[in-house]
C-alpha cells in the first residue's frame, strides 16, 4: 500500500513523528506540493493525504490506483467529493482535534483587546516605564470581562468550549445555532441571531462555512451590533463580508475585530482588513498548538488503519 502526503509541513514542521504512518505502508511525505506536481507525486498511490493541496476532479481522473483521500483537517473543500464518490474513492476527514486550542485562541484575542498586554509589554521593553514620571500608565481603556455578554454564533463543540471559558470569566453567554442543541448548559441563553448581535458585547463565530453561512456577517447585520462591541472569528474567513467589516471598523460602527481567518489565505496585500482600524489578525494558528496537531496526526493514522482494516471511519462522501 503506497501512501503519499502532499503537504505535511504545516501539520508537522518537524516537532512530531511520522513513524506511525510510515508503519502502515510505503510512505512518501512532501512538505508542500504545487498544483502541477500533485498528479506526478500521487500517480501510483492508493492513499493520498492532503491539507490544502487541491485534489480536484481533474486530478482524481489521473490517479487510477487511488482508493482513499484523507484530509489532514476538518474542512474538506479541497477535495472534489462527488468525483471521488463516482470512482468509489473514500474521502475522510478528522472531525475534531482542536476544540480546546481554538477556544483558547478566542480568549487570547479577547484578553488582548481587553488589556492590550502586547502593546504595554512592548512599551516597557522600549524603556518607557523606566522613563515614566508615574508609577504606572496605560494607553487604552482596560476592560473587565466579568459582567459582559458573549454571543456565540454556532454552538457545537468549539462554541460550547468557548462558553465554558466565558462563564468562568463571569460573562453572560448567548448562543445561536442552526441546529437546536440537545442540552443547554446552565448560564447559556439560546436566542436568534439578530437578538444575539444586538445584545452581545463580544461576538464570536463558530459555525461551518456553508451556502447559508457565507457572508453571514454582512453590512446589514453589522448595523445591529453595538458600536462598543468586538467581533472575533476563529472559524472560517468567508463568514464575514470583509469590506463591510473594514468599513464598520474604520467608521467606528464597531469597536474592534480579532480574526484568525480570512477569506483568502494567505491574504492579498490589498485586503481591506489588513489596514482596518482596531483589527487584530493572526495567521490561522488557532488550531496549531503542538497538542492539537499531535491529536490530529494520531487521528489521521487511526483513519488510515481503519480503512486498511475494512472498517473506514469519518467518511464524508458516502
Tens of pLDDT, residues 270-299: 999 999 999 999 999 999 999 999 999 999
The mean predicted confidence, pLDDT, of the chain is: 96
Q: How confident is the model at residue 43 (pLDDT cuts 50, 70, 90)?
A: very high
- Domains along the chain with CATH numbers: 2-97+290-308 (3.40.50.720), 99-281 (3.40.50.720)
Q: What are phi and psi for residue 257, nearest 5 degrees? A: -135, 145
C-alpha 208: how far from its chain's center? 9
Does the pLDDT value for residue 18 go beyond 90?
yes
Residue in 79, 73, 76 with CA at minimum distance from that of residue 59? 79
- pLDDT for the residue 179: 86
Q: Based on the residue annotation, tell me whether 223 is a catalytic residue of this protein.
A: no
Query: Do 11 and 5 contact (CB within 8 A), yes or no?
Result: no
* Per-residue pLDDT tens digits for 191-202: 999 999 999 999
Does the pLDDT value for residue 109 go beyond 90?
yes
Region 139-157: mean pLDDT is 97
DSSP-H helix ranges across 170-316: 193-199, 219-222, 242-251, 290-308
Q: Which of 2, 157, 198, 284 is catalytic?
A: 284
- pLDDT for the residue 75: 87
Retrieve residue 148's grid coordinates: 459582559
CA distance 282 to 313: 33
* Per-residue pLDDT tens digits for 228-245: 999 999 999 999 999 999
Percent of the chain with pLDDT over 70: 100
- pLDDT for the residue 280: 98
CA atoms within 13 A of residue 147's CA, in its CB half-sphere: 2
Q: What are phi and psi for residue 152, nearest 5 degrees? A: -105, 115
Helix, strand, or coil here: 71?
Answer: strand
CA distance 126 to 104: 29
CA distance 189 to 218: 24
* Predicted TM-score (pTM) of this structure: 0.92
- pLDDT for the residue 80: 97
176: number of Cβ within 10 Å: 21
Q: Please tell me which residue, 27 or 210, carries the higher pLDDT value.
A: 27
Does the pLDDT value for residue 182 go beyond 90?
no
Q: Which of 86, 223, 265, 291 is catalytic?
A: 265
Query: Do 162 and 103 contact (CB within 8 A), yes or no?
Result: yes
User: 176: which strand partners?
Assistant: 153
Q: Which of 109, 199, 206, 236 is catalytic?
A: 236
Q: Based on the residue annotation, tell me whether 236 is a catalytic residue of this protein.
A: yes
Q: How confident is the model at residue 31 (pLDDT cuts 50, 70, 90)?
A: very high
Amino acid at each position: 500500500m503506497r501512501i503519499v502526503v502532499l503537504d505535511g509541513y504545516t501539520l508537522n514542521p518537524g516537532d512530531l513523528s511520522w513513524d506511525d504512518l510510515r508503519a502502515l505502508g510505503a510512505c512518501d511525505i512532501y512538505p508542500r506540493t504545487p498544483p502541477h506536481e500533485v498528479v506526478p507525486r500521487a500517480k501510483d498511490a492508493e492513499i493520498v493525504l492532503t491539507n490544502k493541496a487541491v485534489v480536484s476532479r481533474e486530478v482524481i481522473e489521473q490517479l487510477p490506483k487511488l482508493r482513499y483521500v484523507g484530509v489532514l483537517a476538518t474542512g474538506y473543500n479541497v477535495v472534489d467529493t462527488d468525483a471521488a464518490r463516482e470512482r468509489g474513492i473514500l474521502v475522510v476527514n478528522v472531525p475534531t482535534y482542536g476544540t480546546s486550542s481554538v477556544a483558547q485562541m478566542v480568549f487570547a484575542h479577547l484578553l488582548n483587546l481587553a488589556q492590550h498586554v502586547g502593546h504595554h509589554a512592548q512599551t516597557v521593553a522600549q524603556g518607557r516605564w523606566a522613563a515614566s514620571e508615574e508609577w504606572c500608565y496605560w494607553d487604552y481603556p482596560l476592560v473587565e470581562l466579568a459582567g459582559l455578554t458573549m454571543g456565540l454564533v454556532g454552538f457545537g463543540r468549539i462554541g460550547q468550549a468557548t462558553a465554558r471559558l466565558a462563564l468562568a470569566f463571569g460573562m453572560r453567554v448567548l448562543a445561536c445555532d442552526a441546529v437546536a442543541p440537545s442540552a443547554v448548559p446552565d448560564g447559556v441563553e439560546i436566542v436568534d441571531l439578530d437578538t444575539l448581535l444586538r445584545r452581545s458585547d463580544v461576538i464570536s463565530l463558530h459555525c461551518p462555512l456553508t451556502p447559508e453561512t457565507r457572508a453571514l456577517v454582512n453590512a446589514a447585520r453589522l448595523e445591529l451590533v453595538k458600536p462598543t462591541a468586538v467581533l472575533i472569528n476563529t472559524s472560517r474567513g468567508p463568514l464575514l463580508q470583509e469590506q463591510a467589516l473594514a468599513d464598520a471598523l474604520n467608521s467606528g460602527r464597531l469597536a474592534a475585530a480579532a480574526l484568525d481567518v480570512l477569506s483568502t489565505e494567505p491574504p492579498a496585500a490589498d485586503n481591506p482588513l489588513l489596514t482596518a482600524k482596531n483589527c487584530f489578525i493572526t495567521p490561522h494558528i488557532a488550531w496549531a498548538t503542538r497538542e492539537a496537531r499531535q491529536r490530529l496526526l494520531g487521528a489521521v493514522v487511526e483513519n488510515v488503519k481503519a480503512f486498511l482494516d475494512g472498517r473506514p471511519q469519518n467518511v464524508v462522501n458516502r
